[in-house]
Structure 1
Amino acid sequence: FVSTLFLGVGKTTLIQKVTQALKSSGIPIDGFYTEEVREGGRRTGFDVVTLSGKRGPLSRVSSDSSTSRREYRVGQYVVDLVSFEQLVLPMLRNVNHGSDAEKKICVIDEIGKMELFSQAFIQAVRQ
């Protein structure tokens, strides 16, 4: 199932409700979604949240306009690839290992520019 709705129409909310319903029904499921981080009413970044409740930074606003060679940016946001990969890659590797009875449905809320900076993520999704 792929949802390509417009911004701000509730895709993440829909995913949260559907995954909760599937979990409640005993269906094995894992994955992640992204959530805005706000401070003082202003968006300062995005976090990745796994369906098991782990959370880590995906990106934050950078006040520094200089870019280092290892820094990935989307607009004003600096992407934290290390945090993203440490949180998401183990979950993706684990989602379809084992017997058919142990396999899980994998939910990924969004694959956008920030996520696609990670070649390891791209490879894990393809597998």
Structure 2
Amino acid sequence: MPRSVEAQVRPRVSPARTNCPAGNVLASLGTALTRAVAPSHRAACDHLAHAHQHLHHMVQDLLTEAAQSRDVRGDIPPAELTRYCLSALAAARTLPSEAAVRRLVTVTLAGVRPPQD
């Protein structure tokens, strides 16, 4: 079960463990910041989830049309192929260069092309 945002952000400093009055201030500050940030964090997460879902549907629609015209492989359901493509291309943000991103796109496209008979 995922931890709440508050549990993830709450300071790790415990006044009981440190015997430091500043610990109470840190704990209060952490709680106040969490309560202030959590709603906007949830809204941002909801917005990102909606954008990702929109992207997924758009790519799936394109792959469905391409499969019908035999431009991409038809032996894998479009929804599965979409997840494969989006997951593969998500790695682009971790690559060190534009050339590496181009190679990733080339490999991903090779994976969606219909198999040679």
Give TM-score scaled by structure 2 length: 0.27
Select the structure that is richer in helix: 2
With a CA cutoff of 8 Å and minimum separation of 6, indicate the structure with the bigger relative contact order: 1
